[in-house]
Structures are given as C-alpha cells and as structure tokens.
Amino acid sequence: MNEEYQNQQGSEEEKHEEIKLFSTMSPISAAFIALIGIFLLYQFGGALLMIAIFGLNFEKADVNALRLLTMGGQILLMLLPTLVLAKYVYRDNISIILRMRFPSFKEIGAFVLGLILLTPLLQNFLYIQNFLLQRLAAFSPFVKSIMNSLDQLDALIEKTYGNLLTSNSVFESSFIIFVVAVIPALCEETFFRGFVQKSFEQRLKPIWSILITGIFFGLYHFNPYGLIALIALGVYFGYAAYASNSIFVPMTLHFFNNFIAVLAFLILGKEELINTSATKNDNVFPQLISLIIFSILFFSYITFVKMNYHKLLPKHSEEL
C-alpha cells in the first residue's frame, strides 16, 4: 500500500516536472511583465476609460453601465492581454500554460470542501487581526493615523462594491452574479493561476510559484484589512491549480467564493462573506479557539486530499 502511494507521488511529480515549455523569453520575466503590465493597464487604463465614458463625476453614473464597464474592463484589459501574451511567449503551448484540463467532479468537490473549511478560519483570523490593530492603535498615534487612512480606503471600497451589488429584481441579481462571480473567476484565474503561476513553475519550485502569485493576487485587490486573507485565498487557489493541473478547479473555487459573498450581501446586506471591518469587541477568546480548531481541520483535510488525490482522478487518467 505504501509502495503504491509512493509510486503515485512519483508519477504526480513527474507529471509536473516533464512540462518545461519552449518560450520566446524567460518565463520569470514573462510573469513579472504580465503582473506589472496588466496591473497598469487594468488599473490606470480602466480609470481613464471610466473618466472618458462617465466624466469625473462617475459616482452619479448608471449602476448597470458601471457593471458593464467592470465586466468589459476585466475581459479587455486582463483576459485578452493574458491570452495575447501567452500566445507570444509560449506559441503553440497555450493550452498547457493555461492548464486547459477538465477535472473530475470529485476533484472539484474536494477543493470546494477545503474552501468551506478555509472560510471560517479566515473569518476568525480577521476578527483577531482587527482586534489587535484596534488595541495597538489605542497606544500608538502613528498606528492610529495609518488605520484612519486605511479606514477611509476601506469605506470607499465598501461603498463602491455596495453600489454594484445592490439589486431590485431577480434578473438584476443574476446579472450581478455574472459580473462579480463568473467574469472575475474566468479572467483573474486565467491570468494568475494560468499564465503567471505556470510561468513561475517553469523555473521555480511549486511552493514559491504559488506563494508569489498569491501575494500579487492579494495586492491586486486593494483591500487593506483583507490583504492577508486574500493572499491566503490566492495561495489555496494556486495549490488547487497545481495539484489538479486544471484551471477549472481554481475558477470554480473563485466563483464559489464570490457567489457566496454576493449571496450574503443580497440576503444579509453584507458585501463580503469575510468581514474585513475592524472591530472594537474585546472578547477574542472564542475566535482564537475557533481559529485553532479550523486550522487543524483544514490542514488535516488538505493532507488527506494530497495523500489520496489519485483516487479523485478520472479512471482513464489512472490507467495512463
């Protein structure tokens, strides 16, 4: 049994090691060019596009027009440049660099269950993080001034997303889910876990490829209090992409995470499933215990999935 597991682990390592693709430039350089170039294109290009269409007073713009612009910006300024860059750098190996492999439903289900365990872990972490920040700010004017600036940025982000997520009908709710859950899952995962992470994997160890990509994923979202949680999500999505070698697994996870967040807002009036607002509540012991419990559950589960991953693969994959 142990020998069978070791053979399976060896075959998994070979599966990733054998894919060293021809590229017209250094894969590391390609990854950083994509991260910097698409960041500038998406953030500043998107801002210029918004000003060109709505003017400087875009807060009064029609919300559906803003949703269309948000969707169009991700497709035109993130997804399309990613595909063009992938074609230029890797030529005929686009399907490999973007991990275009269809996973089994068992693989998807296994990682979705992991996300369900990870979410309360991150909620408890953020609760404790914000409590510590509040306590630190009470003793340090410097930290308090930084938090005041972060609070303003956080409030602006909440207001922006709050406007985009407000719905008055079932049709509008469906459109919001498409814009906020479907499109980001498609565009961001193709960019981050497809082109960027796979490029890093050509030269770096998987753990570093996953971590670096996850850090940039968190930074891209401009969420001051949720940065570490977003990096953790990015790392988990990256691990799922690497373990499955399928872009459709992190896409599903990204969609599921955003869908639940939209659902939480529509039902409960909260714009995020993971609460990132600082709290003044001075009782964090229950959250600390919960953090420890969910950490043990999550990492035990991931270890179990890793050891038994071959059982999740389609039967024809096991025979190859």
% of the chain with per-residue pLDDT over 90: 56
Comparing 138 with 197, the larger pLDDT belongs to: 197
Nearest to 15 by CA among 95, 96, 91, 73: 96
Say if 51 falls within a structural domain. no
Q: Which residues, 6 or more positions from 130, have their beta carbon under 8 angstroms from its beta carbon? A: 225, 276, 277, 278, 279
Residue at 62 is within a domain: no
For the cut 80, the answer to whether the pLDDT of residue 306 exceeds it is: yes
Task: Establish if 12 belongs to a structural domain.
Answer: no
Q: What is the pLDDT of residue 19?
A: 57
Rounded mean pLDDT, 183-199: 97
- The larger pLDDT score, comparing residue 3 to residue 197, is at 197
In terms of phi and psi (left: phi > 0; alpha: psi -120 to 50; beta: otherwise), the region of 16 is alpha
pLDDT score of 159:
72
Give the distance, in angstroms, between the CA of residue 193 and the centroid of all CA atoms in the same chain. 9
- Answer yes or no: is pLDDT of 107 > 80: yes
Pick the residue with more confidence: 63 or 245?
Answer: 245
In this prediction, residue 246 carries a pLDDT of 97
Domain range spanning residue 203? 105-319
CA torsion 142-146-149-152 (nearest 10°) is: -110
Q: Is 133's pLDDT higher than 80? A: yes
Would residue 208 count as lying in a domain?
yes
Backbone angles phi, psi at 59, to 5 degrees: -65, -25
Q: What is the model's pLDDT at position 167?
A: 83
- The answer to whether 262 and 184 are in contact (CB under 8 A) is no
CA distances from residue 198 to 33, 120, 194, 222 in whole angstroms, order as listed: 14, 29, 6, 24
Give the best-scoring range by mean pLDDT among 40-54, 104-118, 163-177, 212-226.
104-118
pLDDT at 208: 97
- Give the count of alpha carbons within 13 A of 173, CB side only: 12
- The count of domains in the chain is 1
Mean per-residue pLDDT over the chain, rounded:
86
**pLDDT at residue 12 in the model:** 46
The pLDDT value given to residue 266: 83
Distance between CA 51 and CA 163 in Å, rounded? 18
pLDDT of residue 54: 75
DSSP 297-314: HHHHHHHHHHHTGGGTS-
Other CB atoms within 10 Å distance of the CB of residue 4: 9
Q: CB–CB of 269/162 below 8 Å?
A: no
pLDDT digits (tens, 9 = 90+) for 266-279: 887 654 444 445 45
Predicted pLDDT at 230: 96
> Phi/psi zone of residue 204: left (φ > 0), alpha (ψ -120 to 50 degrees), beta?
beta
pLDDT bin (cut points 50, 70, 90) of residue 189 is very high
Rounded Cα distance between 35 and 28, Å, is: 11
What is the structure's pLDDT at 104?
A: 93
Choose the most confident range, by mean pLDDT, from 174-178, 247-251, 284-288: 247-251
* Distance separating alpha carbons of residues 308 and 296, to the nearest angstrom: 18
Predicted confidence at residue 59, as pLDDT, reads 66
Lowest mean pLDDT among 48-52, 58-62, 179-183, 290-294: 58-62
DSSP 8-state class, residue 59: G
Q: Is residue 272 part of a domain?
A: yes
Residue 246 CA to residue 274 CA, distance in Å, equals 26
Hey, what amino acid is at 117? L
Q: Which helix (H) or strand (E) holds 107?
A: helix 105-139
- For residue 181, being part of any structural domain is answered with yes
Predicted confidence band of residue 248 (pLDDT cuts 50, 70, 90): very high
Q: How far apart are CA 128 and CA 46, in angstroms?
A: 35
Whether 166 is covered by a domain: the verdict is yes
How many Å apart are CA 157 and CA 174, to the nearest integer?
22
Is residue 259 situated within a structural domain? yes
For 116, the token pair is 């369900």
pLDDT in tens, 218-244: 999 888 889 999 999 999 999 999 999
Residue 270 is predicted with a pLDDT of 57
Neighbours of 220 (CB within 10 A): 19
